[in-house]
Amino acid sequence: MDLEKAGHSLSHVMTLAVKRLYGKDILLGFGPAIKNGFYQDFDYPFSQPDLEKIESEMRDIINSDYSFERELIRIEDAKEYYRKNNQKYKLELLEDIQKKGSVNSTESNEEIVNLAKDGFVSFNNLPEHKDLCKGGCIGYENSNC
């Protein structure tokens, strides 16, 4: 199994789980896959019981028949989406992408860099949740992500 892809997919699942449990207004941070898994920032003071609830919700999502759908979206529309949802960190991220063409200068995903040059980003959509995504999810049948 590709651990980076698994971590990437799980960060989306974790974000959906947290939104379900704590409301869609919870402030989302960044959540890249890393060498040994993934991380996902939230602007919220979680405690140990929260983490157990989140893990349980993630298992429910994984055991349901959700699938990821990828969507290309204009950066301006993505900004409007996050503005409406009061997601200031995601807005900052999109500003960075607009300015630099990517989140960081070492971005190796050519497709993402080219999309940004054309004024687009890609979103990963689940039925109750859409979020920025570089692509590369696994673990779901019919996944286009």
Q: Is 33 in the site for Zn ion (CB under 5 A)?
A: no
Report, in this order, helix, strand and coil percent for the chain, each rounded to 5. Answer: 45, 15, 35
- Count of residues near Zn ion by CB under 5 A: 2
- Provide the minimum distance between the beta carbon of 131 and Zn ion in the complex, in angstroms, as a whole number: 7
Q: Which residues pair with 110 in a beta bridge?
A: none
- Provide the minimum distance between the beta carbon of 132 and Zn ion in the complex, in angstroms, as a whole number: 8
Q: Which is nearer to Zn ion, 31 or 79 (CB)?
A: 31
User: What residues contact 70, with CB distance under 8 A and at least 6 apart?
Assistant: 122, 123, 124, 125, 133, 135, 144, 145
The answer to whether 123 and 132 are in contact (CB under 8 A) is yes
Q: Specify the DSSP class assigned to residue 35.
A: T
- Provide the minimum distance between the beta carbon of 45 and Zn ion in the complex, in angstroms, as a whole number: 26
* Lookup: tokens for 51: 């983490």
- Provide the minimum distance between the beta carbon of 135 and Zn ion in the complex, in angstroms, as a whole number: 6
Q: Is 133 in the site for Zn ion (CB under 5 A)?
A: yes
Helix (H) or strand (E) holding 106: none
Q: Which is nearer to Zn ion, 40 or 124 (CB)?
A: 124
Q: Which is nearer to Zn ion, 50 or 69 (CB)?
A: 69
- Provide the minimum distance between the beta carbon of 82 and Zn ion in the complex, in angstroms, as a whole number: 16
Contact segment (CB under 5 A) with Zn ion among 40-48, 58-66, 111-119, 129-137 equals 129-137
Q: Is 124 in the site for Zn ion (CB under 5 A)?
A: yes
d(CA 17, CA 122): 21
The residues binding Zn ion (CB under 5 A) are 124, 133
